[in-house]
Amino acid sequence: MNPTTAMPTDSKPSSRYTILDRETPRLKHVLARWETLLGLLFVAVFAADSIVLPHFLDLYNLLDGTQNFSEKALIALPMALLIICREIDISVAGTLALSSVAMGLAHGAGFPPASLPLVALATGTACGFLNGVLVTRFALPSIVVTIGTVSLFRGLASVVLGDKAFTGYPQLMADWGQGYFFGIVPREFVVLLVCAALFALLLHTTRWGRRIYAIGNNPEAARFSGIAVDRYRLALFMLTGAMAGLAAFLLTGRIGSTRPNIATGWELEVITMVILGGVSIAGGSGTIAGVMLAVLTMGTVTYGLALANIPGIYMTIVVGVLLLATIALPKLLRMRRAR
Helix, strand, coil share (%) of the chain residues, nearest 5: 75, 0, 25
Residue 48 maps to a domain = no
Do 120 and 100 meet the contact criterion of CB atoms below 8 Å apart? yes
- Tell me the angle at which helices 207-217 and 229-255 cross, rounded to the nearest 10 degrees: 110
**CA 11 to chain CA mean position, Å:** 54
Residue 243 maps to a domain = yes
CA–CA separation, 218 and 142 (whole Å): 17
Residue 73: which CATH number? 1.10.3470
Nearest to 177, CA basis, from 185, 165, 186? 186
Residue 199 maps to a domain = yes
Q: For 7, phi and psi rounded to 5 degrees?
A: -80, 140
CA–CA separation, 286 and 98 (whole Å): 30
The rounded percent of the chain whose pLDDT value lies above 90 is: 69
Predicted pLDDT at 316: 79
Residue 80 maps to a domain = yes
Low-confidence ranges of the chain (pLDDT < 70): 1-32, 330, 333-334
Do 123 and 268 meet the contact criterion of CB atoms below 8 Å apart? no
**Which residues lie below 8 Å from residue 120, measured CB to CB, with a gap of 6+?**
99, 100, 102, 103, 245, 246, 248, 249, 252
Contacts made by residues 58-62, CB under 8 angstroms, sequence distance 24+: 59/184, 60/184, 61/303, 61/307, 62/303
Residue 172 maps to a domain = yes
Q: Is 180 helix (H, G, I), strand (E, B) or coil?
A: strand
Give how many domains the chain has, as a whole number. Answer: 1
CA–CA separation, 178 and 169 (whole Å): 13
What's the pLDDT tens digit per position in 117-147? 999 999 999 999 999 999 999 999 999 999 9
Question: How much is the pTM?
Answer: 0.88
Residue 38 maps to a domain = no
What's the pLDDT tens digit per position in 245-302? 999 999 999 999 999 899 998 998 999 999 999 999 899 999 999 999 999 999 998 8
Domain span at residue 221? 54-332
